[in-house]
Amino acid sequence: MKRNLKKVLSDILFQNTGSTTSILEAITNKTVEVEIIQERIICDSDYSTQYNWGDSLVMRATTLKAGGIDISNNIVIYDADKVKQLDDFCVQNCSIPIGKILEKIDYRRVKIFSGLRKPAYLSKYCDFFNLTTTKYPVKEYQFIHNGEVYFHIIELYLEDNLFDILNGTLII
């Protein structure tokens, strides 16, 4: 059964349960860099209740870039007090992808959703001005350490930009 490149790329991104940053670096053949768009304290009783977190949570909005090209927009929500429990771990104002920071601890990822979403799904957290189409591939998951959720992450992939990078680097 033949599949097109778009389907293959979606399968790789959606089925991956390891570091998305490592996968994106392998796909693009470039180092992935983080641009922090916004980082602020939020109050969200849904996350606080669901994960047994405190009332003040951190919402971190980032764009991942490969070779200066936007490839992913991300929302990371976490309880800063809970994250402080991890030894030698600092994420606030850090320009390193969360996945690379987490390589130092024993964790697992639990996927909550993977599929297409409208840009408005992320805009309730932060306005990303690089969203120009009606739907994007999105993966949403939790980072779990010692049976507890430490991070809730939403990744929106800028598929057209990933294809542009691939077209510039692939020989078929």
Top-confidence residue, 136 or 16: 136
Per-residue pLDDT tens for 74-110?
Answer: 999 999 888 887 765 555 556 666 666 666 667 788 9
What is the reported pLDDT for 171?
Answer: 65
Strand partners, 70: 65
* Exposed/middle/buried for residue 102 (C-beta within 10 Å: 0-12, 13-18, 19+): buried
pLDDT grade for 113, boundaries at 50, 70 and 90: very high
Report percent pLDDT > 70 for the chain: 85
**Of all helices (H) and strands (E), which one includes residue 111?**
strand 108-117
Mean pLDDT, the chain, rounded, equals 85
Separation CA 65–CA 165 (nearest Å): 11
Separation CA 2–CA 61 (nearest Å): 36
CB atoms within 10 A of CB 50: 12
Domain annotation for the chain: domains and CATH numbers: 1-170 (3.40.1410.10)
CB atoms within 10 A of CB 29: 13
Could you tell me how many residues make up the chain? 172
Separation CA 148–CA 26 (nearest Å): 30
Top-confidence residue, 168 or 87: 168
What is the reported pLDDT for 94?
Answer: 60
Separation CA 48–CA 56 (nearest Å): 8
What is the reported pLDDT for 99?
Answer: 67
Separation CA 138–CA 119 (nearest Å): 10
Separation CA 157–CA 148 (nearest Å): 27
The mean per-residue pLDDT over the stretch 23-28 comes to 87
pLDDT grade for 26, boundaries at 50, 70 and 90: confident
